[in-house]
């Protein structure tokens, strides 16, 4: 989920040397966007900012009509006037059993990324630790897990064939986002990014000790669209699915 602007130290962990990065910030949204150098132009900054303004305006206008959309911690039915981004968030909520706002960061990341897909050869959009990735080449996404010994020491290899993909992280010990658990990192691979975002929240809520990892891992396997899971609590790690770890 999106949170307040914080010192996003983890951003140094996913910078591809072949990419040009820029940031776009608006209220709670704080995006780091990377595109291949050949596709980059200064006009992309304005394009992404305008798209972000539009997306947030659609959501904010809808929330005025349907305040429960913002506050509910469980899936809810949408009004007929719901914009596409709210529909994406609500669908992710239904599949994972959480409130729709649990999917907002991933939904916005993917919407911005899809705006760039027709312009750039490689696109990475990171929004509060939630990533939309469509770079058409192998990437390694490093894992930031607070004070765990695994933090900044392991990465997840993403093949070109898996993309486009959402790679979203929830933590009960890092950052301001709402979590009822205390996992150091719950990393979900899945599509769309809104689903991966909501799934990370759902699974993160289940973890308060190392003993919770097997049950949380099993629950993640039952969510349609999830292709890989990495769980870190203190110095214990558990993984399932398409998770290929590499040392950093």
For residues 97-117, average pLDDT: 97
For residues 231-237, average pLDDT: 93
For residues 206-231, average pLDDT: 96
* Angle (CA) 233 238 244, round 5°: 125
Instruction: For 215-226, write each residue's pLDDT tens digit.
Output: 999 999 999 999
What is the pLDDT of the chain when averaged over all its residues? 90
| Tokens linked to 61 | 């206008």
For residues 197-214, average pLDDT: 95
pLDDT at 210 over 60: yes
Question: What confidence category does residue 243 fall into, taking pLDDT thresholds of 50, 70 and 90?
Answer: very high
pLDDT at 2 over 60: no
pLDDT confidence of residue 109? 98
End-to-end CA distance of the chain: 26
Specify the DSSP element, H or E, that contains 238: strand 236-241
Domain map (residue ranges) of the chain: 9-247
For residues 133-142, average pLDDT: 92
For residues 69-88, average pLDDT: 97
| Tokens linked to 50 | 């305008």
pLDDT confidence of residue 14? 47
- Fold type of domain 9-247: T-fold (3.10.520)
Write down the pTM of the prediction: 0.89
Query: Quick one: which of 127, 77, 61 has its CA closest to 89?
Result: 77
For residues 42-64, average pLDDT: 97
Angle formed by the axes of helices 84-96 and 193-204, nearest 10°? 40
pLDDT confidence of residue 6? 36
pLDDT confidence of residue 16? 63
Size (the chain), residues: 248
pLDDT confidence of residue 7? 37
Instruction: For 157-166, write each residue's pLDDT tens digit.
Output: 999 999 999 9
């Amino acid at each position: 989920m999106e949170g307040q602007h914080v010192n996003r130290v983890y951003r140094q962990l996913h910078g591809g040397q072949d990419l040009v990065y820029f940031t776009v910030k608006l209220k709670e949204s704080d995006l780091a966007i990377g595109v291949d150098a050949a596709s980059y132009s200064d006009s992309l900054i304005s394009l992404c900012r305008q798209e972000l303004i539009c997306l947030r305006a659609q959501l904010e206008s809808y929330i005025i009509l349907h305040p429960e959309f913002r506050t509910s911690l469980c899936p809810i039915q949408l009004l007929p006037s719901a914009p596409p981004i709210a529909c994406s968030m609500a669908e992710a909520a239904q599949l994972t059993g959480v409130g729709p706002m649990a999917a907002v960061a991933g939904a916005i990341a993917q919407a911005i990324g899809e705006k760039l897909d027709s312009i750039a050869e490689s696109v990475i959009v990171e929004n509060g630790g939630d990533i939309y990735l469509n770079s058409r080449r192998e990437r390694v996404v490093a894992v930031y897990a607070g004070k765990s010994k695994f933090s900044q020491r392991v990465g997840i290899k993403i093949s070109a064939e898996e993309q486009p993909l959402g790679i979203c992280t929830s933590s009960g010990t890092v950052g301001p986002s709402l979590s009822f658990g205390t996992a150091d990192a719950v990393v979900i691979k899945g599509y769309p990014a809104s689903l991966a975002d909501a799934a990370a929240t759902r699974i993160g809520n289940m973890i308060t000790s190392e003993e919770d990892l097997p049950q949380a891992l099993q629950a993640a396997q039952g969510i349609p669209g999830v292709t890989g899971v990495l769980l870190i609590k203190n110095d214990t790690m558990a993984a399932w699915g398409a998770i290929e770890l590499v040392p950093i």
